[in-house]
């Protein structure tokens, strides 16, 4: 029996309420094998690689005045067999293309770009406005990162205005960015973290 057939049987029995209390397969996992899932389900393409040629063409045609950034990005994107997550930090004045470059990378990381469930963007000034809540923010941020990577190891995280992020909160991300096989059973090696300032 194919997974598509299994999903159809599951859907039929779920509509009658027989199975849903016992088995809850992830619709994101099923989306990789069948189109018979709700449109909110997306496939996490774990082994898919970034098409570096297409990325190069896109950067050549859409990113101007950033030849050094383009070269570094292209060289780093060619190696997806990393021993730690890829961490990129884009610095520059307003309008220099930091967020724009992050959007281009997101589109090549996942065809849905920023609309993908596996591409995550945080504007730090909106998400962490109160210095007195740093402990709560750290707990929430760690749970959020771990939860998203547990769903899909190949996740992209974009942190905008990281220079306005509390240093303690920023330093708390270090375990996810460093050389670790797994943290609490979750591997972060296929992740990409982009920081803009």
pTM of the model: 0.82
Same domain, 68 and 106: yes
Same domain, 86 and 29: no
Same domain, 34 and 65: no
Same domain, 148 and 110: yes
Number of domains in the chain: 2
Same domain, 13 and 96: no
Same domain, 64 and 34: no
- pLDDT per residue as tens, the chain (197 positions): 454 554 555 554 444 444 444 445 567 767 777 777 777 788 887 777 889 999 999 999 998 888 899 999 999 998 878 889 999 999 989 888 999 999 999 999 988 899 999 999 999 999 999 999 999 999 999 999 999 999 899 999 999 999 999 999 999 999 999 988 889 899 999 999 999 99
CA 195/CA 140 separation, integer angstroms: 18
Q: Which two tokens stand for residue 160?
A: 């905008």
Same domain, 139 and 162: yes
Same domain, 93 and 4: no
Q: Angle 98-109/67-77 helices, nearest 10 degrees?
A: 30
Same domain, 97 and 184: yes
- 38 is in which domain, residue-wise? 1-43
Give the pLDDT confidence of 23-46 residue by residue, as tens digits. 455 677 677 777 777 777 888 877
């Amino acid at each position: 029996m194919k997974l598509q057939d299994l999903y159809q049987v599951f859907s039929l029995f779920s509509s009658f309420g027989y199975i849903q209390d016992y088995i809850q397969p992830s619709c994101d996992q099923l989306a990789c094998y069948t189109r018979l899932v709700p449109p909110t389900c997306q496939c996490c393409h774990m082994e898919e690689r970034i098409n570096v040629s297409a990325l190069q063409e896109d950067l050549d045609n859409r990113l101007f005045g950033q030849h050094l950034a383009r070269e570094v990005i292209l060289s780093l994107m060619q190696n997806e067999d990393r021993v730690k997550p890829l961490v990129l930090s884009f610095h520059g004045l307003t309008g220099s293309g930091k967020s724009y470059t992050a959007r281009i990378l997101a589109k090549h990381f996942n065809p849905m770009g920023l609309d993908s469930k596996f591409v995550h963007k945080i504007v730090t000034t909106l998400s962490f406005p109160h210095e007195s809540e740093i402990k709560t923010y750290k707990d929430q941020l760690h749970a959020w990162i771990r939860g998203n990577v547990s769903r899909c190891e190949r996740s992209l995280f974009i942190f905008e205005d990281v220079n306005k992020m509390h240093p303690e909160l920023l330093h708390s991300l270090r375990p996810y960015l460093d050389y670790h096989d797994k943290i609490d059973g979750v591997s972060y090696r296929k992740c990409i973290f982009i920081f803009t300032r």
